[in-house]
Amino acid sequence: MSDSRLTNGAILLNERAKFLRESEDEIEAMERLLASAQHDQDVARRIIGKKRDRNSLVPINQLPTELLVDIFWNSVLTDQWFFKYLTRISSVAWLWKTIIEHAPRLWATVDWSTHVTKKLLPIVVLRAGDFPLTVNMPGPYIGWDDDSDEESSRPRNASFLEMVLPKLARWKKAYLFL
Cα-based distances in Å from 64 to 53, 87, 92: 16, 21, 17
Sheet holding 171-176, edge to edge: 109-111, 133-137, 171-176
Question: CB-based contacts of 65: which residues, under 8 Å, 6+ apart?
Answer: 99, 103
Cα-based distances in Å from 177 to 100, 117, 156: 30, 19, 11
Q: Is it the case that residue 176 has pLDDT exceeding 90?
A: no
48 or 6: which leads in pLDDT: 48
**What average pLDDT score do residues 144-151 get?**
50
Residue 93 is given by DSSP the state -
Question: CB-based contacts of 174: which residues, under 8 Å, 6+ apart?
Answer: 134, 135, 136
What rounded mean pLDDT belongs to the chain? 79
**What average pLDDT score do residues 70-75 get?**
90
